Structure 1
Amino acid sequence: MDIPVRTISDLHAEIIRLEKVKQQQEMDLKQRFNSPSNIFAIVKSIFHKPGDPKNGILDQDLFGLLSRVILPFTLNKTLFKGSGFLVKTLVGLVSQKASTYISEDSVTGVWDKAKGLITGLLKKKNKPPEPDFAKAAPTA
């Protein structure tokens, strides 16, 4: 309600009206935070949005939670060491978004691929040379 204030009495009336609105809002907030279960539900809603089962911070596994901290920290300390505040903030935001794709399954998949590649290279390196039957067979 935008009431035009033209006189001092209009100003006093508007101040009184705003104080009543403030008191009503305070009573509404007290009613909302009156029990520990309501407070816990509000704090939980910060970390988990209703209707989206995999959107909350607490719904990630250990690798996802660690990557939310480690990924921006390591990027800012290594690749973007001399960067300014804005670049580091953008790196933090992008790496936070990217950390949602990091899970235990993705880490173990990459680990298995790297392990298979290394063992394949080591087997080729340590493989004994095959004998050449053309040289070893006597000619008649």
Structure 2
Amino acid sequence: MTDQPIYSHTDLKNEIYRLQGLEREKGLELKQRFSSPGAIFSSIFSLFSGNDHADAKDGGIFKQDFLGVLSRFALPFTLNRTLFKNSNFIVKALVGLVSQKASHFISEDSVEGVWDKAKGLFGKVTHLFDKSDKKTKPEVTSFRKIKKD
């Protein structure tokens, strides 16, 4: 690319020819890039993938586990349909951006950890209110009849 000033009619024509040639080159590159279904999918994957040296939380959506990918789409959709239902476009866009960033922290391991903590807390609460823990009479399992001789 040159930033030469255009002083005459011939300079303008030369610049037009240069730009038309550049347009043809870029058109051929695009045609090659989208020539087959495999090429289309690799182009789409390259849009979403991050650096090859990045961690899974810093990479694209295809470097996350199933729950991470699901949360990238489900979290903004759910928030915009429930909490921010009557909000304007800007608020919904901001919610989408923030929830996209937050979805990097949602993984199968983190959900499993939260689930285990919730089960433990629920177990403690039900243990406190369980009626069988109160003092009860011991059950008699068998009676022996004593014979008198």
TM-score under structure 1 normalisation? 0.76
The number of residue pairs the alignment matches comes to: 130
- Between the aligned partners of 1:114 and 1:35, the Cα distance in structure 2 is 51
Match of 2:21 in 1: 20
Alignment of 1:1-140 (within 5 A): 1-27=2-28, 29=29, 33=33, 39=39, 41-49=42-50, 50-54=52-56, 55-126=59-130, 127-129=133-135
- 5+ long unaligned stretches in structure 1: 131-140
Percent of pairs with identical residues: 46
State the one-letter code of the partner of 2:129: K
- Between the aligned partners of 1:73 and 1:34, the Cα distance in structure 2 is 30
Identify the structure with the greater helix proportion.
Answer: 1
Match of 1:135 in 2: none
Deviations, residues 82-136 of structure 1 (Å, cap 9, x unaligned): 1110000000010011011011111111111111111111111112048xxxxxx
* Residues 89, 37 of structure 1: alpha-carbon distance in 2 compared, 3 angstrom cutoff: closer
TM-score under structure 2 normalisation? 0.72
Superposition deviation, residue 71 in structure 1: 1.0
CA RMSD, 1 decimal? 2.7
Which segments of structure 1 move beyond 4 Å, counting only runs of 4 or more?
Answer: 34-38
- 5+ long unaligned stretches in structure 2: 137-149
Structure with bigger RCO (C-alpha 8 Å, 6+ apart)? 1
* Residues 22, 115 of structure 1: alpha-carbon distance in 2 compared, 3 angstrom cutoff: same
